Amino acid sequence: MSGEYGALAAKARAIYGRRLTAADFSALIRKSSVAEVMSYLKGTPRFSSEFASVNELTARRAQIESLLERSLFEIYGRLLRSAGGGDDGFPKFMFFKYELDVIVNVSLYILIDKQESVIAYLPFYMEDLLGFELAPLGKIKTASELPAAFADTDYADILVEHFGGNKTPKVDLFLRDMNARYVDKMTELAAEDISGDAKNEVIGLIKAQAEIDNLLLIYRLRSLFKEPSTEILPLLLPIRAKLPKGVAQSAANEHDADAKVLALLKKYYFKDKIVCDLNNIEVSARKYMRDRCARLLHMSEDGAAVMYALMRLLDIEKHNVITVVESVKYALPVTETEKMLVN
């Protein structure tokens, strides 16, 4: 794989070199309006073409987020085409993620009786590369129709289990099963298509994200929403990376679960490299993933691994931009916005 996709590494690093810098974000969070933010972004190498047609005076959060997502898709598509399409192996990881997102979002719209929102949501620009047609999804009226709509996907059995017949679906368990299937698929493809140290690092990244997501879920549900552990444990992904067996589950049972989660993150992930407390735990988690992906991007010669690292890093950049837009829109203090950025 490293030979076949080796040319991707240089291209991916060049794209990353055009990213928004810390100085850019420092300037952006000091703008007084969303229009000023958009005007600044249009003047950067990273977003000059993506936002060229945007009227900064009328731009809204939803439009900006859609353009950012479209930008990621186009960057990824160019890299994939330069690699010859990637067949159905690991280099198509983003399409598998888009497939997951479409299935989940369409299902959620149907479950909350927002069928009219499906067509507006559907990403038709990526239809040719997904494993199903999008237009028919706009005709779905009930959850029982979902299994047939996605019968040719890797998630068909999960949809049957949760929506088949007259079952009353449990949304949280559905989301758990969908995400677990996606992680399993990504780790299997990485094991098949990536070699050497890059394979171990990519698989480690995928599993680490799942494990960190488990810890953050415990933190949110126990600390913020006071949910009992009996409600939390069934929602955890059955995936481990660094934690000993049963440690995450044990944390959910602690009366001070927030402190336990923080201690586990510091011990097994952040160590002394990332400053973290309960006020910035989720930002610290993104910083951890940023640092690992940046190392992979700069050190690996495996094109598929570097492409994966790049897309993870650009997704963090997208999150930063959306944070800036929201912060400027609601006039949050600069000092508060700075704490929410990963740059």
In this structure, the number of other CB atoms found within 10 A of the CB of residue 134 comes to 18
pLDDT value of position 263: 96
Instruction: Name the DSSP class of 153.
Output: S
| 8 A C-beta contact, residue 62 and residue 326 | no
**Interatomic CA distance for residues 281 and 213, integer angstroms:** 11
Element spanning 39, H or E: helix 34-42
pLDDT value of position 1: 42
| 8 A C-beta contact, residue 169 and residue 162 | yes
Residue 114 tokens, joined: 């927002």
pLDDT digits (tens, 9 = 90+) for 262-280: 999 999 999 989 989 888 9
The reported pTM is 0.94
Q: Which residues contact 240 (CB under 8 A, 6 or more apart)?
A: 207, 211, 248
pLDDT digits (tens, 9 = 90+) for 85-122: 656 789 889 999 999 999 999 999 999 999 999 999 99
Q: Which residue has the tokens 């006071």?
A: 226
pLDDT value of position 210: 98
